[in-house]
C-alpha cells in the first residue's frame, strides 16, 4: 500500500490530468498502455486524489503484474 501511495504521489506531482495519469499508471506498473475498456473504467473510478492511490494499488494486484511469464 505504501508503494502505491509513493507512486501515485510521484505521478500526481507531474501535474497530469486523469487521462494522462491512467496512461502513466498502466505503463509504469504493467509496462503497457491500458485498453480502451480499462481506460474508461479507470477514468470513471477516479474522483479524488485518494482514488489515484487506490488505482495504483489495484494495478499492483493485477494478474499482469503479479504473474511471472
Q: Kindly report the number of other CB atoms within 10 A of residue 13's CB atom.
A: 8
Q: What is the pLDDT of residues 4-49, one digit of tens each?
A: 999 899 988 888 899 999 999 999 999 999 999 999 999 999 998 8
Q: What is the distance between the alpha carbons of residues 52 and 68, in angstroms, rounded to a whole number?
A: 25
pLDDT of residue 36: 97
**pTM (predicted TM-score):** 0.84
Distances (CA, A) of 61 to 4, 29, 68: 10, 10, 13
Amino acid at each position: 500500500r505504501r508503494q502505491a501511495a509513493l507512486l501515485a504521489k510521484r505521478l500526481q506531482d507531474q501535474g497530469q490530468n486523469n487521462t494522462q495519469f491512467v496512461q502513466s499508471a498502466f505503463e509504469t506498473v504493467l509496462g503497457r498502455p491500458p485498453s480502451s475498456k480499462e481506460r474508461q473504467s479507470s477514468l470513471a473510478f477516479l474522483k479524488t486524489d485518494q482514488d489515484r492511490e487506490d488505482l495504483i494499488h489495484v494495478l499492483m494486484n493485477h494478474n499482469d503484474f503479479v504473474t511471472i511469464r
